[in-house]
Structure 1
Amino acid sequence: MSRPRVMGAAEIAERLKVTRQRAYQITARRDFPEPLATLAMGQVWLADDVEAWIRTNRPHLDEPEGE
C-alpha cells in the first residue's frame, strides 16, 4: 500500500516559486484545497489536490519539477 504524497507550506512555496509567507497567503484562499491534517509543524495538503489547484489557477506552473 502506498502512502499519500503530502506537501507543507515550504514545499508549496517551492512548487509555486514564491516565498513561504506568500504560500501561507495562497493556502488561506477560499479556493485552495482543505488541508489533510494540521500537525505540530503546521498544515499539510495532499499533493494531488495542490497539483490540481495549480493546473487550474497557475497553469504556467503546470509541470512539476523533476517530472
Structure 2
Amino acid sequence: MKLDLVGFGELVERFGLSRSQTYRLSKRPDFPEPGLTSGRRVWWTAEVEQWISEHRPDLGRDA
C-alpha cells in the first residue's frame, strides 16, 4: 500500500521556491502539520494541495 506523502524536497520542487522560502512557508500556522516517518517530516499530499488551492492558487497544477 502506497501512502501519498511528500517530503520537504518535494515541497521545494512543488512550490518552485528556495529551500529557505519553502521552510518559512511550511512553518506558517495555517500550513498543514507534518508527520514524522523515519525521523523525517512528511505531509499528506492532499492536505498540501488543498492548502495551495486556498492560499497559493498561483501554484495550482494548471498554472
* Superposition pairs of residues 1-67 of structure 1, within 5 angstroms: 2-37=1-36, 39-40=38-39, 42-63=40-61
**Per-residue deviation, 1:63:** 0.8
CA distance in structure 2 between the partners assigned to 1:49 and 1:36 by the alignment: 12
Identity of aligned residues (%): 35
**Per-residue deviation, 1:38:** 5.1
Gapped regions of structure 1 (runs ≥ 5):
none
Gapped regions of structure 2 (runs ≥ 5):
none
TM-score norm. by structure 1 comes to 0.79
Cα distance change of structure 1 residues 22 and 39 upon mapping to structure 2, 3 Å threshold = farther
TM-score norm. by structure 2 comes to 0.84
Backbone CA RMSD of aligned residues: 1.6
Amino acid at match of 1:34: E
* Structure 1 runs of 4+ with >3 Å offset: none
